[in-house]
Amino acid sequence: MSSLVVVNDPGDWPLDMAGVAVSSARAYLSDPRFDRAPSLRVHNLCSSYRYQTLGYYVSLLAEARGHKPLPRVRTIEDMHSQPLVRHLTEGLNKSLQRALSHQRADSFDLDVYFGRSVAERCGHLSGQLFNLLQAPLLRARLERPNGHWHIRGVRPLAVHEIPAEHRAFMIRAATQFFTGRSPRVRKRPAPLYDLAILHDPANPEPASDAAALRKFVKAAELLRVRAELVTEADLDRLPEFDALFIRDTTFVNHYTYRFSRRALAEGLVVIDDPESILKCNNKVYLAQLLDRHGVPTPKTLLVRRDNVERIVPTLGLPCVLKQPDSSFSNGVVKAESESDLRARVLDLLDKSELIVAQEYLPTEFDWRIGILNQRPLFAAKYFMAPGHWQVIKHDAAKRDHVEGPTVAVALSEVPKKVVKLGLRAANLIGDGFYGVDIKEAGGGCCVIEVNDNPNVDAGNEDGVLEDALYRAVMELFVHRIQARRWGHA
């Protein structure tokens, strides 16, 4: 995505960098070449963002043109309301107290230049303010009325307001900011779009391992998409991107769902979308959905405290009990006897008003059918962990786990009824990226569950398609970004 700096007077901007164009505000608003310019990130450094001023209209028209303005109009409006600014910045309290713990005066103006400040102790706080408000240049008024620091107000900072002693620092901050996104020398054309790949480096059971993440990034680059690995701390940076790809285990009461909701609200292309997370993360919902549409599943009973006695007559023993939001074999248990069953059911019902009970179908492996945009993408066999009835075996303390092997299989070699069933089940959820688990037993096949955020690990699910799997996912992002940008979404 190309970068454009917009100022009242281009002479105010002191830098001349490859890949960063400069325009006056009036030229940006009136020059026809900007009307349909695609993939443009607009850094609005006008002297005023007041309503209906040049600075206000630069951000407003940038959004209407499908460009990415910093700051956005919503941010401009937020900064005009000091109570709202204080509300938005409440989460910065710890950083604020830590940064100014040695400040003697009871008031302080913190100037932030592209997320950096000349005040070294305020470096972390400056980055947080920039990520939150997304204004390239801003000034925060900090006060300590009763021994406790507060952010009293934040306003944009015009280029000509930068103190002379700060200008060299601002130039370094801007250079670092832009070169981090637009290197001076490129072996490939400049990227057209920006993709955030959300992951958690500390997750012991990630949706994609480090090698697979690198392959996604490489596939994106080949399609002129700049892919950046982001983490939970980057929520407020989402407006910088055109799309979000979630590669951490999703839950509803979790930061992954907040990312998905925020990204969708910001107009990004999102996989996994919030609706898919909601549907796939509740096995009670899935059981009802699949039953209503006649999709074959193991015999299933939705269990409440008043129908526990129906489990054995309906399903027999052993049977499988599932916590509604279980994942990676956690929250899924096998009951071998009636006494074991009652204890496990009551334990699960302490966490949820409803749980799922299913008949136990022992198999050597489960099929995993990967569905992308309502089409089969890959297939794999997930073999049970050695000596265990599940694909993943956790130790008693859940500090470690053992997985069965994963063997990729060409779609042409998978029984057609399995692929067809996987597609039918996934299409009830949406048009994102899903992994459908299917068992073959007794001459038939049945759906165990539909997963959003399906695993893609290097050397496992990509064993047949190799790099083509990663490219297919990235191509879908490009197609949807383009469709949304040009009004065809």
Domain limit, last residue, from 316, 338, 359: 359
pLDDT, residue 311, reads 95
| Residue 483 lies inside a defined structural domain of this protein | no
Domain limit, last residue, from 272, 288, 310: 272
| Residue 468 lies inside a defined structural domain of this protein | yes
Three-state secondary structure of the chain = CEEEEEECCHHHCCCCCCCEEEEEHHHHHHCHHHCCCCCEEEEECCCCCCCCCHHHHHHHHHHHCCCEEECCHHHHHHHHCHHHHHHHCHHHHHHHHHHCCCCCCCEEEEEEECCECCCHHHHHHHHHHHHHHCCCEEEEEEECCCCCCEEEEEEECCHHHCCHHHHHHHHHHHHHHHHCCCCCCCCCCCCCEEEEEECCCCCCCCCCCHHHHHHHHHHHHHCCEEEEEECHHHHHHHHHCCEEEECCCCCCCCHHHHHHHHHHHCCCEEECCHHHHHHHCCHHHHHHHHHHCCCCCCCEEEECCCCHHHHHHHHCCCEEEEEEEEECCEEEEEECCHHHHHHHHHHHHCCCCCEEEEECCCCCEEEEEEEECCEEEEEEEEECCCCCCCCEEECCCCCCEEECCEEEECHHHCCHHHHHHHHHHHCCCCCCEEEEEEEEECCEEEEEEEEECCCCCCCCCCCCCCHHHHHHHHHHHHHHHHHHHCCCC
32 and 94 fall within a common domain: yes
| Residue 347 lies inside a defined structural domain of this protein | yes
pLDDT at residue 262 is higher than 50: yes
| Residue 487 lies inside a defined structural domain of this protein | no
- What is the pTM (predicted TM-score) of this model? 0.69
Average pLDDT over residues 36-56: 82
Comparing 182 with 156, the larger pLDDT belongs to 156
| Residue 291 lies inside a defined structural domain of this protein | no
383 and 469 fall within a common domain: yes
427 and 303 fall within a common domain: no
28 and 52 fall within a common domain: yes
| Residue 268 lies inside a defined structural domain of this protein | yes
CATH number of the structural domain spanning residue 224: 3.40.50.20
308 and 433 fall within a common domain: no
229 and 106 fall within a common domain: no
Position 375 confidence tier, pLDDT thresholds 50, 70, 90: very high
Q: Domain total for the chain?
A: 4
Position 32 confidence tier, pLDDT thresholds 50, 70, 90: confident
| Residue 116 lies inside a defined structural domain of this protein | yes
Residue-wise pLDDT for 212-227, tens only, equals 999 999 999 999 999 9
Position 185 confidence tier, pLDDT thresholds 50, 70, 90: very low
pLDDT at residue 394 is higher than 80: no
413 and 318 fall within a common domain: no
314 and 378 fall within a common domain: no
CATH number of the structural domain spanning residue 346: 3.30.1490.20
44 and 137 fall within a common domain: yes
Residue-wise pLDDT for 104-113, tens only, equals 888 989 999 9
Least trusted range by pLDDT, from 84-98, 157-171, 411-425, 431-445: 84-98
pLDDT, residue 19, reads 74
161 and 199 fall within a common domain: no
Position 189 confidence tier, pLDDT thresholds 50, 70, 90: low
CATH number of the structural domain spanning residue 444: 3.30.470.20
pLDDT at residue 154 is higher than 90: no
| Residue 259 lies inside a defined structural domain of this protein | yes
Residue-wise pLDDT for 279-317, tens only, equals 999 888 999 999 999 999 999 999 999 999 999 999 999
Q: 268: domain range?
A: 193-272
pLDDT at residue 412 is higher than 70: yes
89 and 23 fall within a common domain: yes
Domain limit, last residue, from 130, 157, 179: 179
412 and 448 fall within a common domain: yes
